[in-house]
Amino acid sequence: MSSKGKFEPTSSEINLGFEKGQSLFERKESLEIELQTIINLIDKAEDFDLTYKQSDTPDDFMCSSDVDIKEDILKQVANLAESMCQVEKIKVKKLYAKDRLIQNSGPDWRKGRYMYAISAITAFIHDIDSYISTARSISDKLCCVIAAMNGEKIIAVNKVNLEREDRYVSIEKYKTRVNDESNPRLIAQRSQEWHAVRKEAKVTGSTLYGAIGCDGLAKQKDHFEKNICGIPEKEHSLEVKAAMKWGTDNEINAVSTIVGKILPVFEAGLKFFEEGCVRVNGDKGNVVSPDGSLRRDDTFESTEVVIEIKCPTLHVHTELPSRYYLQCQTELKALDVRRMLYVSWTETDTTIFRMELNDDLLNKALKVAEDVHGSDNPKKPTRLGDAKHLNTDLNTDLKKKSNEVKILGRVSSCQQMSLGENEYCEARFTSVDLISLLRELYQCTNEKYELLREKASEAVVFLLADLDRGWQKNAVRCSPIAWFPKGYSLDCETMRFIAEEVHTRCTQTGINVPCQSFDGQWHPLVVRSLDGQPLTAFQLQKDLWTRVEKMSKSALLVELKSMNKNVIVMHITDQNNRSKQIVATNGGIALPRFRKLIQKKKIQKTMFRVKRRIMDLINWCVKFSQAMSMTKPYWMNLKI
């Protein structure tokens, strides 16, 4: 019923109607909403005139219209960051494809058969880099506007001298203000005292994910051997060591970005404080070491936000990795705050995510950790065992919750400098400045849509035809009734929905379609249901053989032994409406072990041989007695 053909569209996009993500109509509608939102913001900004003094409090001079504009600009910063992350993901895929093509092109790819494909990918990557650079610049300018509306100073260049920043408080500086040296939050990280506190802990925030088996049994065993048995940790590879050193060395640069560019925009009025370590619920066996906290004043009680920093070596995080979700949650719990900023820093870009406390998921993970490591004599895990299903659920929940974490923004990164004064942006913006900036954002939004377009490469056409295989020049025996543009790949599930929709439309219009024909790639539509179950006996046999041929003999015996233990009763009705019943069971009797079975067979063979010999002896005696009755036995003449 369908055929496929190549065509050369210049602007056609994939439009299936049953996409797992947004359809073409939804994408265009979303674009129109984004553009209209920017236009509305431009209208609001016509009477906008901002001349704020850095020392003023924004609440003193911000009217309701200014607050509305500020919230709208913050949303645009978040949307711009999300767009950059989407384009960044495409760039990663394109770079991978480019590397593979270059590897397969021989010594000189410029003369290879993939020359045009590599050149096209290179040009597309250039467009992505150009867009990210423009979007980053617009985001930084919008952040300057928000900082000015907040009455905060924001760094104009990408260099920050933390010693000259009032919004940064180190542990050494904080110790001079308080007299509480016993508090572990005042222990400098990576110091001997800090290592001693963490050594007492069975689980830390960074190791909780592996300690409960979410990272596999091998990592769980390694954690147990190190933290419970005291066995030295296995030496890391050179790549891991380099990545860890990179993160440690650049943490101060991430702090500079937070203090110089993030606080003035997203957390105005707060200061960054270095943190040592904190015990979760006062438990020495569970310790976390946040990278910092944001406070209203110098007291611990004024802590409002916890900070976690990651410095990846390759690409900035475009979403929160699920493996770090529990670490962030334990830090929220330990500092008793409701929100966290997760900051991912690279040399060019920094992304900011905001997370809130999830008590239910964290308590579930802590319960697993307590069961494994909390007893007086914990046993080394040899298998995930009963917790395997729980770990699977945890991993699923972690991925789901990590994807729900919203991005706040993406700004250009700063670096720490030891000398010099900090340079700040001007705190004066007119309506002309803001409108010009929003028009740049409007153009950038259109460019983002062009980069994210899913261009079609093929057309799938549904033809309605009769069963007559004859052919005549002027006779029409088929007619196209539906078609759609697709990309280089299309999964069977989506194709099933499309084919069923076409079939349903034909039925609704009175067209009877008794059969369908299609390419071999859609063969699973015939032999499998929507949930992947086999629809034919042959497919069931193939699935069973695929599964069974990989099983060991012991596994096969275990499965055979467990089959039909429970009575299965099925009622069916034949063509004459007579009810019949089928009962399948092995009587609930456990199969005997092989040793007992073999021993029983040996006994049966032995008893059979003995019985046979006895029967032969009896028959011989009978025959002998019959022969003796005819003559006088010779033994009667013997004298005893």
pLDDT, tens digit, for every residue of 417-455? 888 888 888 766 777 888 899 999 999 999 999 999 888
Q: By three-state DSSP, how is residue 403 classified? A: helix
Same domain, 555 and 627: no
Q: pLDDT confidence of 132, banded at 50, 70, 90? A: very high
State how far the Cα of 278 lies from the Cα of 186, in Å rounded to an integer: 10
Residue type, 399: K
| CATH number for the domain that contains residue 272 | 3.90.320.10
Regarding whether 571 and 610 lie in a shared domain, the answer is no
Q: Is the pLDDT of residue 504 over 80?
A: yes
Same domain? 189 vs 201: yes
Residue 381 placed within a domain: yes
Position 75 confidence tier, pLDDT thresholds 50, 70, 90: very high
Residues whose CB is less than 8 angstroms from the CB of residue 83 and which lie 6 or more positions away in sequence, other chains included: 135, 445, 448
105 assigned to some structural domain: no
Asked if residue 362 belongs to a domain, the reply is yes
Residue 263 DSSP SS3: helix
Same domain, 584 and 622: no
3-state secondary structure of 351: strand
Query: How far is the C-alpha of 246 from the C-alpha of 309, rounded, in Å?
Result: 12
Which sign, positive or negative, has the C-alpha torsion 189, 192, 195, 197? Answer: negative
- In which order are the strands placed within the sheet that holds 168-169? 168-169, 271-273, 292-295, 303-310, 339-345, 349-356, 406-412
Residue 59: band (very low, low, confident or very high) from pLDDT cuts 50, 70, 90: very low
The DSSP result for 448-494, as a single string, is HHHHH--B--EEEEEEEE-S-----TT---EEEEEEEEE-S---HHH
As a whole-number percent, the residues of the chain with pLDDT over 70 amount to 86
Q: Tell me the per-residue pLDDT of 524-580, one tens digit each, with 9 for 90 and over.
A: 888 998 888 999 999 999 999 998 888 888 888 888 877 766 666 677 777 787 877
Determine the pLDDT at residue 260.
Answer: 92
* Percent helix / strand / coil, the chain, rounded to 5: 50, 15, 35
Q: Which residue has the tokens 């062009």?
A: 450
Domain that includes residue 255, residue range: 166-401
On average, the pLDDT of the chain sits at 82
590 vs 157, residue with greater confidence: 157
Does residue 385 carry a pLDDT above 50? yes
Q: Does the pLDDT at position 60 exceed 80? A: no
Residues 361 and 384 in one domain: yes
Q: Is residue 23 part of a domain?
A: no
Amino acid at 615: M
Q: Is the domain of 609 the same as that of 555?
A: no
583 and 610: one domain?
A: no
Does residue 226 form part of some domain? yes
Predicted local distance difference test score (pLDDT) of residue 52: 47
Let me know whether 560 and 629 are in one domain.
no
Q: Which whole number is the average pLDDT over 379-385?
A: 72
On the question of pLDDT at 1 being above 50, the answer is no
Tokens standing for residue 269: 């009025």
Of 463, 459, 462, 461, give the one whose Cα is nearest residue 486. Answer: 459
Q: Between 307 and 589, whose confidence is greater?
A: 307
Q: What is the mean pLDDT of residues 180-202?
A: 82
**What pLDDT shows up at residue 139?**
93
Q: How confident is the model at residue 98 (pLDDT cuts 50, 70, 90)?
A: very high
Q: How many CB atoms lie within 10 A of CB 149?
A: 24
Task: Give residue 300's pLDDT.
Answer: 87
Residues 582 and 615 in one domain: no
Which has more pLDDT, 397 or 629? 397
**Contact (CB, 8 A) for 85 and 407:** yes
How would residue 201 be classed by pLDDT, with cut points 50, 70 and 90? confident
In a domain, 388, yes or no: yes
Q: Select from 457, 525, 511 the least CA-distant residue to 481.
A: 511
Indicate if 572 and 624 belong to the same structural domain.
no
**Domains of the chain: total:** 3
Looking at residue 365, its amino acid is: A
| Position 2 confidence tier, pLDDT thresholds 50, 70, 90 | very low
Amino acid identity of residue 251, one-letter, is: E
Q: Is residue 98 part of a domain?
A: no
Strand partners for 568: 584
pLDDT confidence band for 489 (50 / 70 / 90): confident
Q: What is the pLDDT of residue 588?
A: 54
569 and 617 inside one domain: no
**Beta-strand runs (E) in 300-346:** 303-310, 339-345
> What's the one-letter identity of residue 576?
N
More confident residue, 43 or 475: 43
Examine the fold and report which residue of 380, 401, 422 is the final residue of a domain before the chain moves on.
401
Calculate the alpha carbon distances from 400 to 212, 244, 314, 386, 600 in Å: 18, 27, 24, 23, 57
- Which of 349, 367, 401 is at the close of a domain? 401
Residues in CB range of 581: below 8 A, 6 or more apart = 569, 570, 571, 572
Domain boundary among 401, 432, 465: 401
3 pLDDT band, cuts 50/70/90, is very low
Q: Which two tokens stand for residue 415?
A: 């670096």
Domain shared by 607 and 583, yes or no? no
Query: Is position 386 within any domain?
Result: yes
- Give the C-alpha separation, 238 to 246, whole Å: 12
So what's the pLDDT on residue 240? 86
